[in-house]
């Protein structure tokens, strides 16, 4: 807001509080302290588990450093990996270790949930209540993980790819981690360009969806997709309200979800077309690169090296937009809403 010359008004503070699920300024302060504490605790627990596993094959000091780095990278959905290109590379060692993949996968998932949802889950035993945002996020996380895992396993079984000839347990562990990491974490344990089209398309869609709002993940967010799905089902059933888990979703929320999805889709499409005009290459590879940047995933089908300086600026812009969030930018740039004094008569528009 400061960069674009706008004051952080009381209304803006209310928007921030609402996005974080808080009711007042004191709630925001308490949440900030909670964020710091729970983040350090989760990353420390993950680092300890990884260190206990890796110290058997690495010197204690080196194992500790690697454990801390990869715990933070996993929880923050950063996608950085210190093993790539070394003799201990993920593909040659820990990439098939179920314990390592489980710990890092859990860190990725927890980071993709976000602090407000973790706080909601932590408080559930006491108040026996979960917000609709938490319920949507958990349900969609499980659904996307299961569906993505089935697609990965089916594709590996029906077609020849990098996982062909591997044992069932290795396929399962690699497949599950790949699906979990696809939603903006960006950690790779198999060459993505050697996967089949169906799996690559699944990864692209999962990256676009991303994780929860106010989390470490990017994308259009699970809640946006969830609200749109609920709204579509309500429309198909002939209902004039969209509801789920015993709660009715306000029209304003549905309108914001439509705006986020529309702006994000148009942005990704425009940037993909622009890059495809400037660079030779497969259109899917270009789209994969743009969606990966928008979701802050860091994946690539070996197309990044083809970008010129303008192309790199375009990808950087997509990263900035995706990290800041489409809704945040739309709200920040929007003019202050004025009360509508004139209401024109309604007239239906033919659809379909």
Per-residue pLDDT tens, the chain, 352 aa: give them: 455 455 555 555 555 555 555 555 555 556 666 777 888 999 999 999 999 988 888 888 888 998 999 999 888 888 788 776 554 444 335 667 788 888 998 999 888 887 778 878 888 788 778 888 889 989 999 999 999 999 988 888 877 776 767 777 878 888 888 899 888 787 888 888 888 888 899 999 999 998 888 777 778 888 899 999 999 999 898 888 888 888 899 888 888 888 889 889 999 999 999 999 888 878 999 999 999 999 888 888 888 888 889 999 999 999 888 877 666 665 665 555 566 778 888 888 887 6
Quick one: DSSP state of residue 250? P
Q: Where are the beta strands (DSSP E) in the chain?
A: 242-244, 247-249
What is the C-alpha separation between 9 and 327, in angstroms, rounded? Answer: 17
Name 191's Cβ contacts closer than 8 Å, sequence gap at least 6.
162
CA 246 to chain centre: 26
Name 113's Cβ contacts closer than 8 Å, sequence gap at least 6.
121, 137, 138, 141, 211, 212, 215
Closest CA to 185 of 224, 216, 230, 223: 216
What are the residues facing 248 on neighbouring strands?
243
């Amino acid at each position: 807001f400061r960069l674009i010359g706008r004051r952080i008004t009381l209304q803006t503070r209310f928007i921030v509080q609402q996005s974080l699920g808080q009711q007042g300024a004191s709630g925001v302060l308490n949440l900030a302290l909670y964020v710091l504490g729970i983040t350090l605790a989760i990353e420390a627990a993950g680092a300890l588990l990884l260190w206990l596993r890796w110290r058997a094959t690495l010197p204690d000091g080196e194992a500790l450093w690697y454990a801390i780095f990869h715990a933070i990278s996993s929880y923050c959905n950063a996608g950085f990996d210190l093993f790539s290109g070394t003799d201990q590379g993920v593909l040659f060692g820990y990439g098939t270790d179920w314990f390592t993949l489980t710990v890092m996968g859990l860190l990725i998932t927890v980071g993709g949930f976000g602090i407000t949802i973790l706080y909601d889950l932590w408080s559930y035993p006491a108040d026996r209540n979960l917000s609709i945002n938490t319920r949507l996020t958990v349900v969609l996380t499980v659904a996307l993980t299961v569906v993505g895992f089935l697609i990965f396993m089916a594709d590996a079984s029906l077609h020849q790819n990098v996982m062909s000839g591997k044992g069932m347990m290795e396929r399962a562990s690699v497949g599950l981690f790949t699906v979990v990491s696809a939603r903006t974490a960006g950690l790779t344990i198999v060459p993505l360009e050697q996967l089949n089209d169906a799996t690559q398309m699944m990864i692209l869609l999962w990256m676009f969806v991303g994780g929860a709002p106010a989390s470490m993940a990017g994308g259009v967010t699970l809640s946006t997709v969830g609200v749109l799905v609920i709204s579509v089902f309500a429309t198909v059933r002939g209902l004039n309200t969209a509801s789920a888990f015993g709660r009715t979703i306000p029209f304003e929320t549905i309108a914001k979800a439509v705006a986020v999805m529309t702006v994000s889709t148009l942005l990704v499409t425009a940037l993909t077309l622009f890059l495809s005009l400037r660079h030779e290459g497969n259109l899917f590879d270009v789209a994969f690169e743009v969606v990966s940047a928008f979701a802050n995933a860091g994946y690539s089908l070996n197309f990044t090296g083809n970008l010129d300086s303008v192309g790199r600026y375009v990808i950087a812009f997509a990263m900035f937009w995706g990290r800041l969030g489409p809704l945040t930018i739309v709200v920040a740039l929007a003019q202050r809403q004025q009360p509508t004094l004139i209401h024109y008569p309604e007239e239906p528009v033919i659809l379909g």
